[in-house]
Structure 1
Amino acid sequence: MLKVEKGMMNMEGTIELFESLRTELINDYDATKGSIFGHKGLKVQGKVFMFYNESNIVVKLNPTDVEAALKLTGAKNFDPMGGKPMREWVEIPYGDNQQWFNFSLKGMAYVKSLIK
């Protein structure tokens, strides 16, 4: 699981946290490197389930998990073009080690469930 020192909330710190999370999910789970919208991300079975965007992670989630994620301080539906948010994709700011890790696993499981 991710380990972080207090104060690593700036952009540089969140990039390091993202890279650590990405490495863990690749090494210990069924994730592979990928990208979307020009951002570093993760795929499962060829489909992107999470990526890094301006100090946040963006995760594809099922409706129940979207609702839970949107209750987090600063979380919002991802809106790449401005004006039409993507309802299954939630942008989650760094809150604590478990927050990014747990939602990443939920995103991976959700995307796997969509693959036939």
Structure 2
Amino acid sequence: MTRRAPDQPEDRFAALVEELADLDGVTPPGAGPGRRFGSDALKADGHIFAMLSADRLVLKLPRARVDELVAAGEGTHFDAGKGKPMREWLALDPASELPWPQLAHEAYAFVHP
């Protein structure tokens, strides 16, 4: 029997969703119509602020904060597959030890001031 490690990205994201689900205006993944972009993301008032993409936590943060984290080697600018990195989106490096909940709260505060 194969057992998943408790720190798998899917498990960490599920724990993050559970932690943030009760915040004002938050919609958890899967709530809403269809399977379109953002259907597996955390949203605040309809705005995506955190999602899991290719096993990486992706967060919407102020451009200066994203630039700071990229410069520190904590991640990269997220590219949604269009060949153009998005300035206000961070794809956290899987090796980063930054706490997911803290970053997700920052992202929530950015889209839900």
Structure 1 residues 18, 72: CA separation in 2 closer, same or farther (over 3 Å shift)?
Answer: farther
Choose between structure 1 and 2: higher helix proportion: 1
Choose between structure 1 and 2: higher strand proportion: 1
**Pick from 6, 13, 16: which aligns with 1:21?**
16
Question: How far apart are residue 81 of structure 1 and its match?
Answer: 1.9
Counterpart-to-counterpart distance in 2, 1:66 and 1:21: 20
Question: How far apart are residue 67 of structure 1 and its match?
Answer: 2.1
Asked whether the equivalents of residues 56 and 93 of structure 2 are also in contact (C-alpha less than 8 Å), the reply is yes
| 4+ aligned runs moved over 2 Å, structure 1 | 34-39, 71-74, 93-96
1:71 and 2:71 equivalent?
yes
Question: How far apart are residue 17 of structure 1 and its match?
Answer: 0.5
- Structure 1 unaligned blocks of 5 or more: 1-6
TM-score, length basis structure 2 = 0.75
The residue matched to 1:90 in structure 2 has which SS? Answer: strand
- Structure 2 unaligned blocks of 5 or more: 31-35
Structure 1 residues 8, 70: CA separation in 2 closer, same or farther (over 3 Å shift)?
Answer: farther
Q: Deviations over 1:32-85 (max 9, x none)?
A: 214663662101112111111111111111122112321353511111224211
TM-score, length basis structure 1 = 0.73
Larger Rg: 2
Q: What is the CA RMSD across the aligned residues, in angstroms?
A: 2.3
Question: How far apart are residue 104 of structure 1 and its match?
Answer: 0.8
The residue matched to 1:86 in structure 2 has which SS? Answer: coil
Within a 5 Å distance, the mapping from 1:51-66 to structure 2 comes to: 51-66=51-66
Which residue of 1 is the match for residue 33 of structure 2?
Answer: none
Within a 5 Å distance, the mapping from 1:32-47 to structure 2 comes to: 32-34=27-29, 37=37, 40-47=40-47
The residue matched to 1:87 in structure 2 has which SS? Answer: coil
1:108 and 2:108 equivalent?
yes
